[in-house]
Structure 1
């Protein structure tokens, strides 16, 4: 099992949680979310991330951030160590669903969950033509 932490600009993190719970009603066991408000400084965010990592259901945690280069992702990068914590940015719903599905498996590894998240993000984006 691998823990997941969603970090996004408010109110996106909570909205992503609701999207995950819509399909995976038991996702609360290992999914935490952190909404980043405009008034939250980097030091305070770092402290909240540290606390969330300590509360995680498993020592390995995949952090999913909304936008590469924005504050949630930039502060989360401070925790990436490639063994215990990994980070993927550009969060979308297919990425989240694939990550939750993979993370809940008892034999999940951080690398596997990270790759499933990346696959979900890539495969979930497509041009759709008008029908009819």
Structure 2
């Protein structure tokens, strides 16, 4: 089973793990975060990440997820890549992380490819005038709108 290490700007990683725990009804095993604070040494972050990766990897590999491509947490994460053992993806979001957890029994390279190819599915335009998959019945006037709200 693939493990996950989030390397993000503080407090993004911790917040994502908190949201994931809410969705799954408790902490998800082998899913951790390193929240990077301003002016933190990249060498220190990388050292912490290496320790966590070694502890988390049970042989199926570790997927490192970062929040913002080109920023310090991502630059640090990119140095951790080891094909077949550590894959790194930038652009982590709650939908992406939940999808990753649901498919973590796939091989690490297969999981990384699936997440990248399906990332856009986590971004959906919500139309206020015609919600997807829902009936929409406009309220004809303000009085009816007021009655509807009560």
* TM-score normalized by the length of structure 2: 0.79
Distance 2:11 2:79 in 1: 23
Report 1:13-92 matches (<5 A).
13-25=13-25, 27-59=27-59, 60-92=61-93
Greater relative contact order (Cα < 8 A, sep 6+)? 1
SS at match of 1:79: coil
Distance 1:116 1:15 in 2: 24
Give the count of matched residue pairs. 129
Cα distance, 1:113 vs structure 2: 1.9
Contact (CA 8 Å) 1:20, 1:100: kept in 2 or not? no
What is residue 126 of structure 2 aligned with on the other side?
128
- Give 5+ residue unaligned stretches, structure 1: none
Contact (CA 8 Å) 1:29, 1:57: kept in 2 or not? no
Distance 1:19 1:6 in 2: 13
* TM-score normalized by the length of structure 1: 0.89
SS at match of 1:68: coil
* Equivalent residue in structure 2 for 1:117, among 115, 131, 144: 115
* CA distance 1:27–1:110, change in 2 (3 Å): farther
Contact (CA 8 Å) 2:20, 2:28: kept in 1 or not? no
Cα distance, 1:69 vs structure 2: 0.3
Where has structure 1 moved over 4 Å in runs of 4 or more? none
Distance 1:16 1:51 in 2: 21
What is residue 2 of structure 2 aligned with on the other side?
2
Larger Rg, first or second structure (1 or 2): 2
Q: CA RMSD in A?
A: 1.6
